[in-house]
Amino acid sequence: MSKKGFIFDLDGVIVDTAKYHFLAWKNLANSIGVDFTEMQNEQLKGVSRADSLNKILAWGNKNISEDVFKALMNRKNDDYLNYIEKMDASEILVDVPRVLDFLNDQAQPIALGSASKNARIILQKVKLLKKFNAIVDGNDVNKAKPDPEVFLIGAQLLNIKPAFCIVFEDSVAGVQAANSAQMISIGIGDKEILNEADYVFKDFSEITNDFLKELLK
Ligand code: BG6
Ligand code: MG
């Protein structure tokens, strides 16, 4: 059995924080008079905080100063941090621990590849930090997804060539990032939305240990 690098996105893959990002962006957008729908939210998944705010401002035709931009980013994050304050292991998505434990048992290296600057806090809250051999988050990259930087750094830290890495992603931007890194992309979510991924599963309960073993060949 060969060694592969397994790279997991965080929000919407390991934990169901996507709903809290949505609520915090919706509160912020509405507070500045911009409508915000779940369809639009889909385009913000995997996208950095600054890029997300830029998109919302563009949808609402708003021009603001740099200072106001910073204040809005902080307001969104404070709101988001309030939502996640009481998070615990019960918010880990279905069968994620089984997959992480299976890969650990097979001595496969595992990295986190997230756009979020809150990734470490969240992994600590849900007590999964120790399951990862490397963590790459929004504090470690210069270019946001769909740029492949976050996953390429992950591969480097795991010491595995990109072509031998497998990425789990719930966002279009993240699937595109994995594809441009020449990694295998596994979409978690809707087949229609994630149609650029190599494989798509509704959630980890559909990913069997046999399927994971196939990836190790
Ligand atoms: C991604 C989320 O993982 O992280 C996005 O899918 C979010 O919705 C981005 O905007 C940045 O997160 P944070 O926690 O640094 O604002
Ligand atoms: Mg995500």
Distance 92 CA to ligand 2 centre (A): 13
| Per-position pLDDT tens, the chain of length 217 | 689 999 999 999 999 998 999 999 999 999 999 999 999 998 999 999 999 999 999 999 999 999 999 999 999 999 999 999 999 999 999 999 999 999 999 999 999 999 999 999 999 999 999 999 999 999 999 999 999 999 999 999 999 999 999 999 999 999 999 999 999 999 999 999 999 999 999 999 999 999 999 999 9
What is the C-alpha to C-alpha distance for residues 194 and 171, in angstroms, rounded to an integer? 7
The domain spans of the chain are 5-16+89-215, 18-84
Among candidate residues 9, 16, 79, 203, the one labeled active-site is 9
Which ligand 1 atom sits nearest the alpha carbon of residue 137? 15
17: Cβ below 6 Å to ligand 1? no
Which ligand 1 atom sits nearest the alpha carbon of residue 44? 8
What is the C-alpha to C-alpha distance for residues 84 and 87, in angstroms, rounded to an integer? 5
Strand arrangement, sheet containing 184-188? 134-136, 110-113, 5-8, 165-169, 184-188, 199-201
24: Cβ below 6 Å to ligand 1? no
Write out the two tokens for 76: 């969104």
Measuring CA to CA, how many Å separate 142 from each of 27, 59, 146, 159, 205? 27, 25, 12, 21, 34
CATH architecture for segment(s) 18-84: Orthogonal Bundle (1.10)
CATH class of the region 5-16+89-215: alpha beta
Q: Is 11 a catalytic residue?
A: yes
146: preceding bond cis by omega (within 30 degrees) = yes
Collapsing DSSP to helix, strand or coil, 70 comes out as: helix
* Reported pTM: 0.95
